[in-house]
Amino acid sequence: MAKKQGTISFEQLGKALQKREFKPIYLLMGDESYFIDVITKYMNDSILSPEEQGFNQHVIYGKDADVNNIILMCKQFPMMAANQVIILKEAQNLKKIDELIHYTENPLNSTILIINYKYGTIPANRKLYKSIAKNGEIFISNTLYDNEIPAWTAKYLQKKKLSITPDAAVLLAEFLGNDLSKLANELDKLALLLPKTENQINASHIEKNIGISREYNNFELQKAIGTGNIEKTYRIVNHFAANPKNNPLTVTLGVLYAYFMKIFNYHLLKKEPQKVIEERAKIPSFFINEYKSAAARYSPGKIVKIISLLREFDLKSKGVNNASTTDGELLKELVYKILH
């Protein structure tokens, strides 16, 4: 996760909290709500003891709150405890939020104010941002790129002393996208259902417990096309055509577009060190060889034509120059043109 100057990383913040090194203000903001929720829950559960929480811990919601009342609450001293904790949730809905500067410029050390500002950020040039940066901590929770999801999945399971095969990690990412809250829930479910004699999640576990087919999915389709496996490609395509509701054409087109763009980027970067290729082309390390093989099959010129085809069939799927052809028939025609 990229770290903006003047902010703290998720790992750094976690270590500081575990050491009970608290700041008077925390601004947790960004598009990815998962990390904000994890940090907030940890602080909610661990800063004060259950006995101290009754008088000294308060949760406020931005939509229902008043800035002046929040400031007055923050200026109160704790009762029979070293700190009071005030959690301001949904702060993006708080009217006149910039007026919090009347408190953030000179906060009490005994108050720990946690501001949850989801699905956006407070600009760094605002006075409120600058005052919090001076007197507290700012954590920016960015959405992970698709290619970062498998590694995050592996790291999440590592904390549970479990692992996951690369193809299973990609299968989950392809099915669930980069919604980390949803992904974490499914991983928790898989961890509970995993036989006690096993410690690695594979595609079979996912198929059995989540309902994602390990054979008929977009990941397997792109791999079959990339290796030129015509028989497997058409087997998957025919399955998609017979089950259009479970395999929307628009999703498949998006996956194939991203796949061929990565192959194209591999061509541009193939003389660079592997680490550079992984970062710039956004290809997980364990799939580099697969993309290298696909690049040998699909030249840059061929990829440009395929990208043009994908755009053409995207329009057709939306009814442009297409009156009656089904999505299944469109996919069969598209794949034929890609392979031949």
First-to-final CA distance of the chain: 40
Output the pLDDT for position 324: 84
CATH topology for 146-209? Helicase, Ruva Protein; domain 3 (1.10.8)
Output the pLDDT for position 6: 63
Give the model's confidence band at 44: pLDDT under 50 very low, under 70 low, under 90 confident, else very high: very high
* pTM: predicted TM-score of the whole model, two decimal places: 0.76
Question: For the chain, what is the mean pLDDT?
Answer: 92
Q: What digits encode the pLDDT tens for the residues 25-36?
A: 999 999 999 999
Output the pLDDT for position 1: 46
Indicate the helix (H) or strand (E) that contains 26.
strand 25-30
Question: What is the DSSP annotation of 200-254?
Answer: EE-HHHHHHHT---SSSSHHHHHHHHHHT-HHHHHHHHHHHHH-TTTS-HHHHHH
Query: Which of the following CATH numbers is that of domain 10-140: 3.40.50.300, 1.10.630.10, 3.30.70.3400, 3.40.50.720?
Result: 3.40.50.300
Which amino acid would we find at residue 181? S
- In which residue are the tokens 């590592």 written? 158
Output the pLDDT for position 306: 97
The domain locations on the chain are 10-140, 146-209, 218-339
Output the pLDDT for position 134: 95
Q: What percent of the chain has pLDDT over 70?
A: 98
Q: What digits encode the pLDDT tens for the residues 279-302?
A: 888 888 888 999 999 999 999 999
Q: What digits encode the pLDDT tens for the residues 201-214?
A: 998 999 888 878 88
Query: Which of the following CATH numbers is that of domain 218-339: 1.20.900.10, 1.20.272.10, 2.60.40.10, 3.40.630.10?
Result: 1.20.272.10
Give the model's confidence band at 75: pLDDT under 50 very low, under 70 low, under 90 confident, else very high: very high
Give the model's confidence band at 56: pLDDT under 50 very low, under 70 low, under 90 confident, else very high: very high
